[in-house]
């Protein structure tokens, strides 16, 4: 599928071929030897979903090559950056010296364009791991691959690696920018596949859930969803469907499942029976048989499945959490035995659930249920296979015995769903006796402005967390945001305190659902700086993370200027996002430009008529969002306008002041506050001591593509508009404006 | 006049057929094999395959062959056949998920041609009864089940989590050994109704993390076994007993071989809470 832009020189091909030969010539021989791989990172064009899109290929392939080692080997990996930009490789889940961890500007120097970097580290563990770029959004464009360390003496059973990923035809930069501008194009695209995904007012009425929708907006929430991004395709080993034909009836096959996607959780199911979970994040667990399981972003599970019959291929089905699409691995050959697909989410049931949980101040209320370890999935209310279809539910009057079981899918049905409480380590994992440093992290966020943080602070807004070598670090994490987060710790394994006592499982990714509280702990045994962050790429880039820093660490030779390096790292979540739109209407031009980051926003609006009677105006604000929910926005700005009026005409505003809306050139201060129903109230005072009070609600979702905007203010100006979204950049619009009258036109937006 | 009418019908039906095909551009036509029984199947198969202007299928219930016409630039034969299989119909490329097949109405449940999956040990249907003493065999078949159940109940009465887990495992094993080919029709009917739930709930008891969870499953196991006990006619008398307090007053039942109440839901806390509500002889 990859069109190689550059043909590798014969020499490098030969070189690479030789390493592979050496590797395959006999793993036994090579144990405890240096194992070398060469990775050539190049620009490429791929077509995964109907369009040629720029991406990154390593050694000409997506995903990156599957690397195999044996515990005790020393990995020697040469990364040749043949891009025009810098890159990096992070070895996910590996215990290694700090400067080998591959986080650019934090642990390792970025690999500059045209240079080669050698990563060299001993492998002190075994299991399934992966590697990926830690630079900007490169991971989304193909830079992920499997990293497998075999045990020295491994039980010989057939195995297969399944690298899952998500693919969008949109540039990752665009995806990120649009997320920060509360753009609902993703939902519109989803609604093409799944009705009701936009959760518009018409959808609500059709679902007889108008009250639910109104309450939802009253509580200042936008349409709810389980994932933020629309993906055109999901991939198994870089294919829509992959097939492993080498297996026969009775074979027990170890599947090494790696979720290398940037922001997609997958539900896993197998058409040939139960899945036996035997390892998570590389670490063995006591085998546990399940019917289905969710794999978080960046999480890894090893499962053993049985091939029940010959001349049949059994589907191993991975469905995205939003259930828009799926990808499959077929095990065996012959007629294809399908797995039962997951039915669409019941969005309004989910919305109802969120309404119940959301307090007016934006905090979540778990209603006294102590939620943890994925055991109670509030989303079950949206899963038809657990809680029934809308019709059957009404008939049967499904009556859960108590409130807690209302969300416990294992209590609600015969389907066994994996959760963290079921994971048990085969060996004791107790930490050495040492002083404990306890931390409390509250995961915070705000979907409207796409701000993601810990304790309402981003990475760049906080200092590193200092820890001492030899102490134990315990973190109590509470998720007070509306999304689930896969929290990943670099360079360490943590225990999840899950009721298994001394045998608590070891992991390096913790999926934590909204309202859950989980406790993890690890022994501080390393040195240097280690990243702890949400592994949803766009959350990480928005600043959802912390840096653990060992006190008195030796200087890192990779970073000669640590202060400057840290500044570079902080730039990621300080980034400003740009947005502009303009309505080319029959009565004038109407537009807005935004430049905003986590806290600051510069906003300019204009209304330019085609003649003096319609007038011209430009109004700009610059301000800072306050508070966790960011409902409060004080600003300073200026306002310039001119409109030619009839002779002797004088207008007054609501407060009896002579209105200057026809000739004004002022600076102003003001405050915006988001009211229930997402109405923005705006009070401002200008340098002519004129007061203005304004109410505005933008983008009311009437139907899938139709949006309404309403505005009125104390200058007796008012506006009502309708917008029909045609493509992600073009809308048809019509509005009535008190100054410019009725108009219709085309809105272009970037 | 009559001939004219017939002619018109003929012409219009030809027109309809041509227009139906004409709607699909870049059309490709292939013959495919799809399992099914009746006219209801025909409707379901054709509905599942149909996408306006993209794919249409005409299925013959006698030959099980279908003419599939599709726009080869927009879809593939596999995509269409996958939809058909997801609707419950095995075909030449895909086997339907078991749940989809089970959802078909009775007359549509065609004989599935694929091999019956063997269980893990690969020993299905090795034991075939030859004696005429079917009744006896059946009672014996269920004897192990009830024996295991009563031992499980005793463990719960003693609030002994470990033993209860072991006994639940025994019960689960006994249940999976039931050979339903040897059951009487009345028993078969009840068995088919309860066995899935019964096995699932018993397995849940095996995996449960504490005794309270086991007890909540035990109440469902008991209800199902009660249904069975009524048709099996056990060798010894069985008492069907009731505790009104369990699960905040919803109550729960159990089976016992002795008339004295020994409450498995609360153990020693409330050992004698409950009463016998039915005696099965």
pLDDT means per 10 residues, chain A with 750 residues, are 42 46 46 86 93 94 95 95 96 96 94 96 96 95 96 89 95 90 77 77 82 82 76 94 92 96 95 94 95 94 93 93 92 92 80 73 66 71 67 40 58 80 94 95 87 93 94 93 92 93 95 90 95 96 95 92 91 89 87 89 88 83 88 90 69 71 83 89 88 89 88 89 88 85 87
pLDDT of residue B2: 57
DSSP per position, A544-577:
-EEEEEETTPPP-TT-S-HHHHHHHHHHHHH--E
Q: Give how far A310 is from chain B: nearest CA, Å.
A: 9
- Report the relative pairing of strands A451-454 and A465-467 from DSSP bridges: unpaired
DSSP per position, A171-237:
-HHHHHHHHTTT--HHHHHHHHHSTTTT--HHHHHHTT-HHHHHHHHHTT-----S-S---SEEEET
Q: Give the separation between CA B93 and CA B88, rounded to whole angstroms.
A: 13
- Report the relative pairing of strands A472-479 and A506-507 from DSSP bridges: unpaired
Q: Give the separation between CA B255 and CA B237, rounded to whole angstroms.
A: 10
What is the DSSP code (8-state) at residue B220? H
Q: Given an 8 Å threshold on Cβ–Cβ distance, is B99 in contact with A309?
A: no
Q: Of the candidates A474, A414, A477, A483, which has an alpha carbon nearest to the alpha carbon of residue A441? A: A477
Q: Give the separation between CA B154 and CA B157, rounded to whole angstroms.
A: 5
Is the previous residue joined to A63 through a cis bond, with omega within 30 degrees of 0? yes
The enclosing H or E element of A434 equals: none
How confident is the prediction along chain B (281 residues), in pLDDT tens digits per residue?
A: 556 666 665 555 544 444 455 578 888 888 888 988 888 888 889 999 998 889 999 998 888 888 999 988 889 889 999 999 999 999 989 999 988 888 888 888 888 866 444 433 333 333 333 333 444 455 567 888 888 899 899 889 888 888 899 899 989 888 888 877 777 777 888 888 888 888 889 999 998 888 889 998 999 999 988 988 888 877 778 889 888 878 877 888 999 888 878 889 887 777 777 788 888 87
What is the DSSP code (8-state) at residue B21? H
Q: Give the separation between CA A5 and CA A239, rounded to whole angstroms.
A: 20
- Report the relative pairing of strands A144-150 and A64-70 from DSSP bridges: parallel
Closest residue of chain A to B201, computed from CA coordinates? A414
A338 touches chain B (CB under 8 A): yes
B:213-272 residues touching chain A, CB 8 A cutoff? 216, 247-248, 250
A630 near A449, Cβ under 8 Å? Answer: yes
A:480-509 residues touching chain B, CB 8 A cutoff? 499
Q: Give how far B261 is from chain A: nearest CA, Å.
A: 25
Instruction: Tell me the Cα Rg of chain A.
Output: 28
The overall average pLDDT reported for chain A is 86
Q: Give the separation between CA B242 and CA B222, rounded to whole angstroms.
A: 11
Among the partner residues B86, B204, B209, nearest to A338 by beta-carbon distance: B86
Q: Of the candidates A352, A704, A702, which has an alpha carbon nearest to the alpha carbon of residue A720? A: A702
Q: Given an 8 Å threshold on Cβ–Cβ distance, is A308 in contact with B117?
A: yes
pLDDT of residue B12: 55
For residue A388, report the phi and psi dihedrals to the nearest 5 degrees.
Answer: 85, 165
Question: In this complex, how many residue pairs, one in chain A and one in chain B, have their CB atoms less than 8 Å apart?
Answer: 50
* Neighbouring C-beta atoms of residue B214, cutoff 10 Å: 25
pLDDT of residue B108: 83
What residues pair up with A475 in beta bridges, in sequence order? Answer: A439, A520
Q: Give the separation between CA A360 and CA A677, rounded to whole angstroms.
A: 12
Per-residue b/e over A140-178, b at no fewer than 16 CB within 10 Å? bbbbbbbbbbbeeeeeeeebbbbbbbbbbbbebebbbbb
B86 touches chain A (CB under 8 A): yes
How far are the Cα atoms of A323, B136, B195, B267 from residue B232, in angstroms, in the given order?
Answer: 45, 10, 14, 28
Q: Of the candidates B281, B166, B156, which has an alpha carbon nearest to the alpha carbon of residue B219? A: B156
For residue A701, report the phi and psi dihedrals to the nearest 5 degrees.
Answer: -80, 95
pLDDT of residue A378: 66
How far are the Cα atoms of A99, A173, A490, B59 from residue A475, in angstroms, in the given order?
Answer: 25, 33, 15, 62
Which positions ≥6 away from A545 have C-beta within 8 Å? A454, A458, A459, A531, A532, A533, A534
Which positions ≥6 away from A455 have C-beta within 8 Å? A440, A441, A442, A444
Residue B272 DSSP SS3: coil
pLDDT of residue A425: 95
Q: Given an 8 Å threshold on Cβ–Cβ distance, is B94 in contact with A271?
A: no
Mutate to test the interface with A, among B87, B90, B95 (most CBs of A within 10 A): B95
Q: Give the separation between CA A546 and CA A452, rounded to whole angstroms.
A: 12
- HSE-CB of A10 using CA atoms within 13 angstroms: 0
Q: Given an 8 Å threshold on Cβ–Cβ distance, is A335 in contact with B120?
A: no
pLDDT of residue A298: 96
Which residues of A fall within a CB distance of 8 Å from B122?
250
How far are the Cα atoms of A61, A142, A228, B249, B278 from residue A237, in angstroms, in the given order?
Answer: 10, 11, 23, 54, 60
pLDDT of residue B1: 53
Mutate to test the interface with B, among A304, A316, A338, A386 (most CBs of B within 10 A): A338
B260 near B273, Cβ under 8 Å? Answer: no
Structure tokens at A275: 């899945």
Which residues of A fall within a CB distance of 8 Å from B251?
none
B85 touches chain A (CB under 8 A): yes
Residue length, chain B? Answer: 281
Structure tokens at A202: 């018409």
Which positions ≥6 away from A238 have C-beta within 8 Å? A1, A48, A61, A62, A63, A163, A165
A414 touches chain B (CB under 8 A): yes
A89 near A131, Cβ under 8 Å? Answer: yes
Q: Of the candidates A291, A402, A272, A401, which has an alpha carbon nearest to the alpha carbon of residue A331? A: A272
A402 touches chain B (CB under 8 A): yes
DSSP E strand boundaries for A311-435: 312-320, 326-331, 335-337
Which positions ≥6 away from A424 have C-beta within 8 Å? A285, A286, A288, A500, A503, A504, A505
Q: Of the candidates A474, A487, A484, which has an alpha carbon nearest to the alpha carbon of residue A519? A: A474
B212 touches chain A (CB under 8 A): no
Which positions ≥6 away from B13 have C-beta within 8 Å? none
Closest residue of chain A to B93, computed from CA coordinates? A335
Q: Give the separation between CA A693 and CA A683, rounded to whole angstroms.
A: 5
């Amino acid at each position: 599928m990859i069109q190689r832009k550059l043909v590798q020189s014969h020499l490098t091909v030969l070189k690479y071929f030789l390493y592979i030969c050496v590797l395959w010539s006999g793993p036994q021989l090579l144990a405890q030897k240096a194992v070398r791989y060469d990775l050539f990172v190049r620009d490429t064009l791929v077509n995964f979903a109907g369009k040629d899109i720029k991406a990154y290929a390593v050694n000409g392939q997506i995903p990156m090559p599957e690397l195999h080692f044996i515990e005790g080997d020393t990995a020697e990996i040469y990364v040749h950056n043949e891009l025009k930009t810098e890159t990096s490789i992070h070895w996910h889940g590996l215990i290694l010296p700090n400067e080998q961890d591959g986080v650019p500007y934090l642990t390792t120097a970025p690999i500059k364009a045209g240079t080669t970097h050698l990563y060299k580290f001993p492998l002190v563990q075994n299991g399934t791991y992966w590697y990926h770029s830690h630079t900007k959004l490169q991971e989304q464009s193909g830079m992920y691959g499997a990293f497998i360390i075999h045990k020295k003496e491994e039980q010989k059973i057939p195995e297969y690696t399944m690298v899952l990923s998500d693919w969008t035809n949109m540039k990752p930069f665009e995806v990120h920018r649009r997320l920060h501008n509360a753009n609902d194009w993703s939902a519109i695209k989803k609604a093409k596949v799944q009705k009701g995904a936009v959760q518009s007012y018409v959808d609500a009425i059709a679902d007889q859930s108008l009250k639910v929708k109104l309450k939802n907006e009253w509580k200042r929430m936008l349409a709810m969803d389980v994932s933020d991004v629309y993906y055109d395709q999901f991939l198994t080993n870089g294919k829509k469907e992959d097939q492993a034909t080498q297996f026969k009836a009775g074979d027990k096959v170890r599947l090494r499942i790696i979720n290398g996607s940037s922001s997609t959780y997958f539900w896993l199911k197998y058409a040939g029976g139960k899945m036996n979970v035997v390892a998570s994040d590389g670490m063995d667990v006591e085998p546990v048989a399940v019917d289905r399981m969710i794999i978080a972003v960046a999480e890894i599970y090893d499962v053993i499945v049985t091939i029940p019959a010959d001349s049949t291929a059994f589907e191993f089905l991975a469905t995205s959490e939003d259930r828009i699409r799926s990808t499959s691995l077929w095990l065996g050959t012959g007629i294809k035995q399908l797995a039962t697909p997951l039915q669409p989410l019941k969005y309004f049931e989910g919305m109802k659930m969120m309404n119940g949980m959301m307090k007016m101040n934006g905090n979540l209320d778990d209603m006294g249920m102590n939620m943890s370890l994925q055991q109670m999935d509030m989303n079950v209310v949206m899963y038809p296979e657990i809680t029934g279809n809308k019709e059957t539910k009404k008939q049967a009057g499904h009556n859960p015995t108590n409130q807690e079981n209302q969300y416990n899918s294992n209590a609600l049905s015969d389907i066994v769903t994996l959760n963290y409480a079921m994971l048990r380590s085969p060996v004791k994992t107790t930490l050495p006796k040492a002083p404990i440093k306890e931390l409390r992290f509250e995961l915070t966020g705000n979907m409207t402005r796409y701000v993601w943080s810990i304790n309402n602070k981003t990475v760049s807004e906080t200092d590193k967390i200092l820890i001492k070598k030899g102490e134990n670090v315990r973190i109590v994490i509470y998720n007070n945001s509306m999304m689930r987060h896969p929290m990943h710790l670099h360079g360490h394994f943590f225990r999840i305190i899950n009721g298994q006592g001394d045998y608590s499982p070891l992991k390096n990714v913790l999926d934590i659902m909204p309202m859950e509280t989980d406790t993890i702990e690890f022994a501080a045994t390393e040195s240097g700086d280690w990243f702890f962050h949400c592994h949803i790429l766009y959350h990480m880039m928005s600043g959802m993370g912390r840096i653990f820093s060992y006190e008195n660490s030796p200087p890192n030779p990779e970073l000669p200027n640590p202060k400057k390096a840290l500044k570079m790292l902080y730039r990621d979540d300080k980034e400003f996002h740009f947005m502009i739109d303009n309505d080319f209407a029959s009565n004038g031009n109407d537009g807005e430009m935004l430049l905003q980051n986590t806290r600051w926003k510069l906003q300019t609006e204009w209304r330019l008529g085609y003649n003096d009677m319609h007038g011209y105006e430009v109004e700009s604000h610059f301000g800072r969002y306050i508070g966790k929910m960011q409902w409060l926005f004080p600003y300073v700005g200026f306002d310039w306008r001119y409109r030619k009026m009839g002779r002797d005409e004088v207008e007054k505003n609501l407060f009896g002041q002579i209105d200057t809306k026809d000739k004004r050139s002022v600076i102003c201060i003001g405050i915006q506050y988001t009211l229930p129903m997402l109405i923005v109230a705006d009070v401002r005072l200008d340098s002519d001591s004129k007061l203005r009070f304004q109410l505005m609600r933008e983008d009311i979702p009437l139907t899938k593509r139709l949006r309404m905007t309403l505005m009125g203010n104390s200058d007796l100006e008012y506006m009502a508009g309708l917008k029909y979204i045609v493509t992600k950049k073009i809308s048809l619009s019509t509005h009535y404006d008190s100054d410019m009258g009725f108009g219709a036109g085309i809105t272009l937006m970037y | 006049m009559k001939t004219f009418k017939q002619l018109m019908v003929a012409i219009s039906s030809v027109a309809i057929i041509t227009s139906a095909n004409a709607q699909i551009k870049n059309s490709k036509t292939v013959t495919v094999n799809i399992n099914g029984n009746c006219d209801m199947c025909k409707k379901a198969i054709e509905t599942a395959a149909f996408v306006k202007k993209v794919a249409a299928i005409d299925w013959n219930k006698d030959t099980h062959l279908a003419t599939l016409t599709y726009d080869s630039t927009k879809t593939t034969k596999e995509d269409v056949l996958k939809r058909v299989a997801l609707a419950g119909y095995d075909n030449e490329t895909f086997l339907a998920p078991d749940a989809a097949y089970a959802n078909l109405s009775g007359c549509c449940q065609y004989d599935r041609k694929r091999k019956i999956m063997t269980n893990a040990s690969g020993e299905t249907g090795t034991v075939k009864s030859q004696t005429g003493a079917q009744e006896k065999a059946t009672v014996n078949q269920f004897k192990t089940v009830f024996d295991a159940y009563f031992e499980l109940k005793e463990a719960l009465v003693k609030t002994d989590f470990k033993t209860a887990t072991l006994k639940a495992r025994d019960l689960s094993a006994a249940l999976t050994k039931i050979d339903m080919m040897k059951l009487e029709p009345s028993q078969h009917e009840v068995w088919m109704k309860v066995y899935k739930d019964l096995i699932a709930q018993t397995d849940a008891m095996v995996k449960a993390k504490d005794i309270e969870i086991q007890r909540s499953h035990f109440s469902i196991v008991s209800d199902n076994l009660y249904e069975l006990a009524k048709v099996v006619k056990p060798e010894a008398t069985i008492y069907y007993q009731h505790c009104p307090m369990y699960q905040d007053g919803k109550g729960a039942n159990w089976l016992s071989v002795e008339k004295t109440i020994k409450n498995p839901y609360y153990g020693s806390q409330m050992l004698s809470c409950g009463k016998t509500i039915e005696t099965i002889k």
